[in-house]
Chain A
Amino acid sequence: MNKTSFLGQSLVAGVMAASLPLMAGQAQASDYTIDTEGQHAFVQFKVSHLGYSYILGEFKEFSGDFSYDEGKPEASSVNVKVDVDSLDSAHAERDKHLKSADFLDVSQYPTATFASTGFKTTGDGAGKLTGDLTLHGKTQPITIDVDHIGGGEDPWGGYRQGFEGTTTLKLADYGIDTSKLGPTAATVDLYLVIEGIRQ
């Protein structure tokens, strides 16, 4: 559970990149704060239930920021902190169990963090964001597939960029024992929607 972010690049960015050297000072990397105040950002997870269906849930509280330059997406970076205690799978007794020492051990490891280490564009606004995810006290490198959804001025005088991302975590990598949940629950899919407001 955890985190996220991303940055993708847009077609526009490609065009701008060509003219970049001519316009020094333009299209600089900007810093964005993830819009958790208006909650235009989501950290959701999906895990198999018995292999027959899925359990969906989310982490409601997290914060973070990213820096993004449409002209130079490779230079993007992102940092996110997730309050693991805010897990919500729409069933309090299950949430209690997931947060207990049997799984996430929230009292011991209240936060999960993601700090990016690199970003590679794969074209058409898509890219691969690599970074270190710390969850349950263990840090592992992960890769998040990112798509730039869109960006521009919002109706209230601000400027926004939005991305979505997906990745799959193997919980055993983080020292979380899911063996009692059966083999299909060994991995968790994350779906992230992150909208940032330029500072």
Chain B
Amino acid sequence: MWRNSRRGWGWPVIVMHWLSALAIFGLFALGWWMTSLGYYDPWYKLGPWWHKSVGISLFALTVLRLIWRHLQITPQAHGTRNEQRAAFVGHVLLYVLLLLIMASGYLISTADGRGISVFGLFEVPALITGLKDQATLAGDVHWYASCGLVILSLGHAAVALKHHLLDEQDTLRRMIWPLR
């Protein structure tokens, strides 16, 4: 149940996958919405506070997720050799985009040496500051990578549904409940 098997994923992988997906779509919507707010909006400061706090938490979760994943076997991938390869590349790309977004988000916030407060509990210090136009350039990367991740993950979801509905494989089911 905890560990992955040749047939399915364990609970930690499943929980982290769906928590991450929820956080990512939530952060995307929040990020988009909060940057359109007027200065007098009560959420003008709260939006970024939640966005950064959840974003840093997601980073911690992602590090855990990657470590956990590398300590285990992974279930046998479905489909043809090429489908398996495409799935592998797609999953790696999802992680790469996610890490790129989190790194660029961090660089926006810390461009002038301020740290990032996480739910007001502690502060992540600024390590890289003062690069030329840091906040603006990191912001561009953040935006395009976020769009890329959301589009890719929608494609990822579509393929998952295709495996489930058309191929009638347990791809989606095993990402919802551990199979022994």
Please give the distance in Å from A162's CB to the nearest CB on chain B: 29
The answer to whether B39 touches A92, judged by C-beta atoms less than 8 angstroms apart, is no
Asked if A85 meets B112 with Cβ closer than 8 Å, knowing A180-B38, A180-B40, A182-B40, the reply is no
Q: Is B111 within 8 A of A93, CB to CB?
A: yes
Residues of B within 8 A of A99 (CB): 136
Which residues of chain A have C-beta atoms less than 8 A from B114's C-beta?
91-92
User: Please, what's the 1-or-0 string for B79-90, where 1 marks a CB less than 8 Å from any CB in chain A?
Assistant: 000000000000
Q: Which residues of A contact B109 (CB under 8 A)?
A: 93
B134 to chain A, nearest CB (A): 7
Is B97 close to A, CB under 8 A?
Answer: no
CB of B66, distance to nearest CB on chain A (Å)? 29
Complex Cα distance, B111 from A181, in Å, reads 23
Contacts A96-B136, A99-B136 given; does A90 touch B39 at CB 8 Å: no
Task: Report the separation of the CA atoms of residues A191 and B90 in the bound assembly, to the nearest whole angstrom.
Answer: 54
Answer yes or no: A95 CB below 8 A from chain B CBs. Answer: yes
B13 beta carbon closer than 8 Å to chain A: no
**In the complex the two chains form, is B135's CB within 8 Å of A182's CB?**
no
In the bound complex, what is the Cα–Cα distance between A181 and B48 (angstroms)? 18
A95 is contacted by which of B38, B40, B48, B135 (Cβ under 8 Å)?
Answer: B135
A91 to B108, CA, bound (A): 11
Tell me whether A181 and B135 are in contact (CB under 8 A): no
Q: Evaluate contact between A182 and B108: CB separation under 8 angstroms.
A: no
A91 to B40, CA, bound (A): 19
Q: What bracket does the count of chain B residues touching chain A fall in?
A: 10 to 19
**B139 contacts the other chain (Cβ, under 8 Å)?**
yes
A182-B44 Cα distance, complex, nearest whole Å: 14
Q: Contact residue range for chain A?
A: 10 to 19
Judge whether B168 is part of the interface by a CB distance below 8 angstroms.
Answer: no
A92 touches B112 (CB 8 A): yes
Interface residues of A in 93-110 (CB under 8 A from B): 93, 95-96, 99-100, 106
Closest residue on chain B to residue A85 by CB atoms = B133
Rounded to whole Å, the gap between the CB of A11 and the closest CB of chain B is 45
State the Cβ distance, A198 to closest chain B Cβ, in Å. Answer: 32
CB distance from A96 to the nearest CB of B (A): 4
How far is B133's CA from A100's CA once the two chains are assembled, in angstroms? 12
Contact A93 B135 (CB under 8 A): yes
Please tell me if the beta carbons of B39 and A182 are within 8 angstroms of each other in the complex: yes
CB distance B40 to A92 under 8 Å? no
Bound Cα distance from A180 to B135, whole angstroms: 22
Q: Considering only CB atoms, which chain A residue lies closest to B134 in the complex?
A: A92
CB neighbours of A90 from chain B (8 A): 112
**Most chain B CB atoms below 10 A, which of A96, A106, A181, A182:** A96
A96 to B139, CA, bound (A): 8
Contact status A96-B135, CB under 8 Å: yes
Whole-angstrom CA separation of A95 from B133 in the bound complex: 9
Q: Which partner residue on chain A sits nearest B138 by CB separation?
A: A96
A-B pairs, 6 with minimum CB distance:
A92-B111, A92-B112, A96-B135, A180-B38, A92-B135, A96-B136
24 A-B residue pairs with CB within 8 Å: A85-B133, A90-B112, A91-B112, A91-B114, A92-B108, A92-B114, A92-B134, A92-B135, A93-B48, A93-B108, A93-B109, A93-B112, A93-B135, A95-B112, A95-B135, A95-B136, A96-B111, A96-B135, A96-B139, A106-B136, A180-B38, A180-B39, A181-B39, A182-B39
